Amino acid sequence: MDDLDRAVVHALHVDGRVPFSRIGAVLGVSTQTVARRYRRLRAEAGLRVVGLAEPARAGRAQWMVRLTASPHTSQDVAHALARRADTSWVKLASGGTEILAIIDTPAESATSHPLLLRDIPRTASITAVSAHYVLHTYLGGPTAWRGRAHALTEEQRRQLEPPAGVGRDVAESDAALLAALSRDGRAVLADLATATGWSPATVARRLADLRAGGALFFDVEIDPALFGATTQALLWMAVTPARLDAVAVALAGHDELAFVAATTGPTNLVAHALCADPAGLHAYLTHRLGPIEGIRTLETAPVLRTLKAAGPLGP
């Protein structure tokens, strides 16, 4: 990736649906050049923009589930989880025997989800399960990893920001629209109209309403190694309750982290770290995380592979 590639990715980080013409005008290149770079990054670097509903605004709850499986079955179990419509961020960690998945559930039935209570316990190859209810997300979603967001100036970023406004919450009638955007956040209005049965004008209006209030956001999926982050780890922390909010807020400001959330369970704070190499992770843990008061224990689980990110798997 060169500087222009990184600038295009940063522009999409600011607004996943920003027109190529606006990116080109801000960067001083043609619309065709931006479109060509975007197509190449999709084909060669796995770049993908996905539209996602903010869970609380859509009446959804999330669980982080940690599974330990036998070495010869862990990949099969992880792939099976990745194929489910209610999972995201499926990762192999800790030498390949641990699987992490985020499970999306209706908020009103968060404690009776079939995957949590039936499907997982009946899988004989799984030797351990722990489920952590996500209580509050401090970093994630529309404020994802900032390691890929250093290519634009502040003025360029301001020019690319989507317009503000008064928004609306997600409704049941938005299901088809959200499903289409989760597959391709940059789908054109005509395609979204076909998917929903609405007119393009209605789609545009509904998109604007959902985005304005933060009920809908756009995530950019791309291999972080292309930005120099070759070492990833999940950090499971037990934090003194009185310090939990202060610690989480401090961590949310760290550029090395892509996700910070308070959860239930024996650990009450989890973070996802992306560093240049093992030495960089060690430096982060000892020099940035170590001095923060209130962290009683820390478990570091290296991430070997991400099988599924925020959006659904392709056909």
Model pLDDT, residue 168 = 80
Model pLDDT, residue 278 = 97
Model pLDDT, residue 285 = 97
Strands 60-69 and 126-139: antiparallel
Do residues 78 and 90 lie in contact, with contact meaning Cβ atoms separated by under 8 Å? yes
Q: Return d(Cα 311, Cα 52) in angstroms, integer.
A: 8
Model pLDDT, residue 56 = 83
Strands 269-275 and 60-69: unpaired
Model pLDDT, residue 33 = 98
Closest alpha carbon to 216 in 180, 189, 178: 178
Model pLDDT, residue 122 = 64
CATH class as words, domain 1-45: mainly alpha
CATH number among 3.40.50.720, 3.30.70.920, 3.40.50.300, 3.90.70.10, domain 139-147+223-308: 3.30.70.920
**0.85 exceeded by pTM:** yes
Model pLDDT, residue 175 = 92
| Annotated domain spans of the chain | 1-45, 139-147+223-308
Closest alpha carbon to 116 in 60, 55, 65, 82: 65
Give mean pLDDT in consecutive 10-residue pieces for the chain, a chain of 315 residues: 96 95 98 97 94 88 91 88 91 90 83 69 78 94 81 96 76 93 96 97 92 88 93 97 97 95 96 97 97 96 93 76
Long-range Cβ contact pairs of 247-250 (< 8 A, separation 24 or more): 247/292, 247/293, 247/294, 247/295, 248/136, 248/138, 249/138, 250/292
Model pLDDT, residue 92 = 94
Model pLDDT, residue 310 = 87
